[in-house]
Chains A and B, each alone.
Chain A
Amino acid sequence: MGVTQAQQPGKARLLSEATRENISRIALNYDSAQSVVMPALYAAQEQLGYLPDQAIVEVAEILQLPPSEVGAVASFYTMYFRRPVGQHIISVCETLSCALRGAEGIMEHVRRKLNIKAGETTADGKFSLNSVECLGACDMAPVAMIDGEYYGNLTEEKVDEILMGLGL
C-alpha cells in the first residue's frame, strides 16, 4: 500500500544512513512500531532540522507503518516542525497557568522584538517563534522553552537578556 509507493526510483533519500541506523537501534527498545514513531521523528528532525513530507514517508517506510499514521503524529505535536525553522526556536507557553501569570504580555513582547508572529521565522533565519500548550512547568509560570531549555518566571527584562545572549 502507501508504504511501497513512497520511494520513487531516482528520488534521493533524505535520511542519512546514520539516521536510519539510529532509528533501527531505537526500535529495538520497543515492542510496537507505533511506539517508535516519536523518537524516530526526533531523530529525523535532528538530522534535517525539520520534517519534510518525504522524511515522514521514509520514517514510515523504516517502521513499516502507513505514512498517514506517522504524518498525523508529526502534525499533532508542536515539537515537530513540518516547515524549515530558524536557528533558535522560542516556544512560549500560553496555557492556563502561564496565561494567568502574564504569558500574553510575554508573547507580545517577543513578537515585537523579533517583529514576527507566532508560527513564523525571522527573515534572517535566526529565530522561530511558537505558541505552545502547557510545558508542564506551571510552578515557574510564565514559561518559555528556548532551544530545548526551560526559562521560567519570565519578565520582559529577562526576555531581553535571553535574546541578547542569542545574538539579537
Chain B
Amino acid sequence: MIGEESGETQVTLTIDDRQVTVPNGTLILKAAEQLGIEIPVFCYHDKLKSIGACRMCIVDVEGLPKPVPSCATEVKEGMVVRTRTPEVAKMWEGVLEFLLVNHPLDCPVCDRGGECPLQDNTFKYGPRDSRFTGEKRHFAKPVPLSALVLLDRERCIMCTRCVRFCQEISGDEQLKIWDRGHGEYIDTFPGQTFDSNFSGNTIELCPVGALLSSVFRFRARPWEMKGAASICPHCGVGCNIRVDARNNREVVRFLSRENAEVDDGWLCDRGRFDSDFPNSGARLTKPLARKNGELTPVEWDEALDLVAEGLRRAAEAGPDQVGGLGSPWRTNEENYLLQKLFRTALGSNSLDFTFDGRGGGSDAIAEAFREGFFDGSISDTTTANVIFVLGSDISIDLPVVDLWLKKAVGRGAKLIYAYPTAVELAQHSQLFLPYAPGSEVELIEGLAASISAEEAAAHTGVPAELIAKAPQALMDARQTLVFVSGRLLEDEIGHRLLDALRRLRRAAASGEGQEMLVCAVFPDTNTQGAMDMGLLPGRYPGYRRIGDELAMQTIERTWLTQPASAPPMSGEQMLAAAAEGRMQAMYIMGLDPVSRPVGGEEIAEALSKVGFLVVADTFLTKTAELAHVVLPSCTFAEKDGTLTNTERRVQRIRPAMRIAGECRPDWVILSEIARRLGMEWSYGKAEDVFEEIARVTPQYAWLDYESIGEKGLQWRTG
C-alpha cells in the first residue's frame, strides 16, 4: 500500500458480474466473500499471513496472463474477476485431483470426515474420478507428536497452517516442514515432543484430518454431535467455546468459538483438552447422608430435609456459628443464591469463597471495584502503547492472554514485565524487572518516579538503571495497560498497592489524551463473579458495605426481607472458629479446600469439628468425605448460568448434555433448601436469578441474558 492513505481508500471491482466496493488492500478472496461468492481455500486462514501456497483459490482476472491466487492478490480499481468460468472450474478440479493423489481417502475412519474442507471442496469442485494409478505416499500413521496431538502424515496436504501457527501466533516454532518436494512432511525437531501450551489450536486449523486430538479421536462422528455455546471452565480468561456432546450424553470436545475481544479464536491446551470430566464415572450422582458414620445414598427429599433442618438448628444457636463458602467454579447465579440464603434464612453474613487469609487487602480491592478503579480489558492489548504486567505469570494464570501479549509485542507495543523470576513472557519484554517479592509498592513508586530509581532499587533489588527506563516509557505512552495480580491486591499490601497504582495512573495519564487502564488478574474461572455476588466478608452484592442503609433498602425491596447485618467472618476466620469447635454449621459449594497441596490437613481437622457440614459438589472430594450431607451438583456442561471473567465480562454458559444421574444445578439445590427454610423463592430458570442479580448489583444493572448474548458484556460502574 505504498503511497496510499492508510486504509481509507475504497476500490470498486467486479466479481462474477457483480460490483463490490472494498477498502484498498483487500484480498480478492475477502471481496468475493462480501458478495457471498465462495472460493475454496486450504492454506489461507484469516488469522495467518497469506502465503498463496496451495493454489486452491485461483481465479481468473481479466487482463492478467495467468490465473492468480485470490488469497494473495489485492483488489484493484476496475478489476474484473471471474470465479465461475469453465476454465476456473477445471483448474479447481485439477488442484483437487493433485491433492488427492497422495491422500489416503480413509474418510470412514477419519475424525474429520463429515466436517472436512478437503471432503467438502472435493464434493463441490473436485473431479469425480482419479486418474492416478501409482503408489501413494506412505507414512506410519498416526504418530504421536505429544500426549495430546497425533499426526497422520498421509492425510496431510502441506497447507502449512500448523507450521505458521507455531511461527506467527504461539511463536514456539515447534512444527516445521522437513525435507522437500514430494518427500516433505510436518514434524517437530527429531526426538522432541510438540511442546507448547497452545498445540491444540493446530488441530482446529488443520483443514484435513491430519492433526488429531488424542482426547477426541474416534469418539464421535460430526452428525452425532450437538454443540452448546459456552465458556471454558478452566481459567479467568473465559475463552468462548463450543462444547460438543455426543447424542446429548457425553461431552467429547471443546472447540473455539471465536470471541474477538476475549480469546481471538484460540484456546490453550489446558482448557481445550480438559473436556472429559463431566463424563466421569466417578461423579456423584445421588445425594449422600451420614448414617451410622457412613455416607449412604439417600433420596433428594431426605437429603434436603436434613440440610434444611441442620442449618436451621445451627442458625438458632447464633448467626456467628454458621457460614457458607461459594466457589470461583460456580456460576454467578449460584454464588448469588448461596449468599442470599445465608443473608435471609440464616441471618449470617459469614460468606467467602476461600479459606485463604486475606491480610486486609480484600476490603481495599472491594472498594476499588465499587469505585470502578479497574477498567482495563484484554482487548486493550491491541491498542496499548505500553503494557505493564505486575506479579502474574500470565502464561500460567491466564494462558490465552499470553498470546494477546505476544501479538501486542509483535505490533510494537512495549512490554514491561515485573515478576520475581524470568518467566517465558519476560523474555519477550522490552523491560524485565525481577523484583524481590513484597517490594511491589516500592517498585511502582519507582516507575511513577514518586521515589527515586535508586531508592526503588534499594527496596526491590532491581538495578536502578532498569527502573529509570520506565517513567519515560510511561510518559510517552498514549495508552498504558496494567495487568496486576489479584493475589497481590488481596494481600497485606493490597491497600498500599492500590494507592501506588493510583499514583502511577496520575503519572502515566497526566498528559492530554493519555490514559492508564488497569485489569486485575484472577486465574480462577469466576473469582470476579464470586466477589461481585457478595461472597466477600463485609460486602453485599456489588461491593456495598454491610450495614449501608441505602444498600439494605434496595436489597430489601427485592428480597422482601431485610438482609442480615450481623458481623461477618471471612473464610479464614470461619476456619479458625471451626478449629475451636465454634462452627455449628457450614455449607461448602463447589470447593475442595482439603485437597490443597499445603494446609489441607489442618483444614480437614477443623472441618471435622463443624457441627453440621454440607458439601455440594460434582465429585466425592476429600472435603465432601467429611460432610454430614453431600449433594450432587451439575457440572458447567449441564446447566445455564453466567461467569464473570478477569476483565469483568459477564458471559453465558449453556447446557451441552443431559444431566448426569440425579444431579441438580446448585441454583436449584439452593432454591430447594430455601423453600424448606420458609423462603418464597420462585426461580423457574437461571435467567430469573440473573434478573434479580441485575436488580441488586449496581454493576450488573444494565445486563440481561439477551444483551449478554453470545459474546458477553462487561459490567460497569455508575
Interface residues of A (CB under 8 A from B): 1-2, 53, 57, 66-69, 71-72, 75-78, 133
Contacts and interface: CB of A to CB of B under 8 A. Distances in A.
A75 B179 contact: yes
A68 B180 contact: no
Interface stretch (B185-193, B500-508, B514-522, B626-634): B185-193
Contact of B188 (A1, A68, A133): A68
A69 to B, nearest CB: 6
Give the dominant DSSP class at A's interface.
helix
Most A Cβ at <10 Å: residue of B179, B188, B189, B195: B189
B282 to A, nearest CB: 36
A69 B176 contact: yes
B191 A68 contact: no
A108 B181 CA distance: 22
Contacts of A76: 177-180
A102 B396 CA distance: 61
B468 to A, nearest CB: 27
Nearest to A67: B189
B190 A53 contact: yes
A72 B192 contact: no
Contact of B192 (A2, A75, A77, A78): A2
B180 A75 contact: yes
Given A2-B189, A2-B192, A53-B189, A69 B173 contact: yes
Contacts of A57: 189
Most A Cβ at <10 Å: residue of B173, B179, B180, B195: B173
A69 B192 CA distance: 13
Given A53-B189, A53-B190, A71-B189, A1 B172 contact: yes
B70 interface: no
B421 to A, nearest CB: 15
Contacts of A2: 173, 189, 192, 195
B174 interface: yes
Contacts of A133: 181
A1 B188 CA distance: 14
Nearest to A71: B189
A2 B177 CA distance: 17
Top 4 A-B pairs, shortest CB-CB distance? A66-B173, A72-B176, A75-B178, A68-B189
B164 to A, nearest CB: 13
Contacts of A71: 176, 178, 189-190
Contacts of B176: 68-69, 71-72
Nearest to B167: A69
A78 B181 CA distance: 11
Contacts of B179: 75-76
27 contacts: A1-B172, A1-B173, A2-B173, A2-B192, A2-B195, A53-B189, A53-B190, A53-B191, A66-B189, A67-B189, A68-B173, A68-B176, A68-B188, A69-B173, A69-B176, A71-B176, A71-B178, A71-B189, A72-B176, A72-B178, A75-B179, A75-B180, A76-B177, A76-B178, A76-B179, A77-B180, A78-B180
Contacts of A1: 172-173, 424
A68 B177 contact: no
Nearest to B173: A66
B131 to A, nearest CB: 22
Nearest to A133: B181
Contacts of B175: 68
Interface residues of B, number: 17
Contacts of A68: 173-176, 188-189, 192
A2 to B, nearest CB: 7
A33 B173 CA distance: 15
Interface in B154-173: 172-173
A46 B178 CA distance: 22
B15 to A, nearest CB: 37
Nearest to A76: B180
A51 B188 CA distance: 17
Most A Cβ at <10 Å: residue of B172, B175, B181, B190: B190
A71 B174 CA distance: 11
Contacts of A78: 180
A68 B194 CA distance: 11
A68 B177 CA distance: 9
A72 B177 contact: yes
B223 to A, nearest CB: 38
A111 to B, nearest CB: 19
Contacts of B178: 71-72, 75-76
Contacts of B173: 1-2, 66, 68-69
Nearest to B178: A75
B589 to A, nearest CB: 41
A1 B174 CA distance: 10
A76 B181 CA distance: 9
A27 B710 CA distance: 52
A75 B183 CA distance: 10
B24 to A, nearest CB: 31
Nearest to A65: B173
Contacts of A53: 189-191
A12 B179 CA distance: 27
Nearest to A77: B180
A75 B181 CA distance: 11
Contacts of B195: 2
A69 B174 CA distance: 9
A78 B179 CA distance: 9
Nearest to B172: A1
Contacts of B189: 2, 53, 57, 66-68, 71
Contacts of A66: 172-173, 189
A77 B188 CA distance: 18
A43 to B, nearest CB: 20
Nearest to B191: A53
A76 B704 CA distance: 57
Contacts of B190: 53, 71
Most B Cβ at <10 Å: residue of A2, A53, A72, A133: A72
A68 to B, nearest CB: 5
Interface string B192-231: 1001000000000000000000000000000000000000
A69 B188 CA distance: 10
Most B Cβ at <10 Å: residue of A69, A75, A78: A75
A109 to B, nearest CB: 24
A119 to B, nearest CB: 10
A117 B298 CA distance: 75
Contacts of A72: 176-178
Nearest to B427: A1
Contacts of B180: 75-78
A67 B173 CA distance: 9
A2 B189 CA distance: 9
B457 to A, nearest CB: 28
A162 B71 CA distance: 50
B151 to A, nearest CB: 15
A71 B186 CA distance: 12
Contacts of A67: 189, 192
A148 B57 CA distance: 41
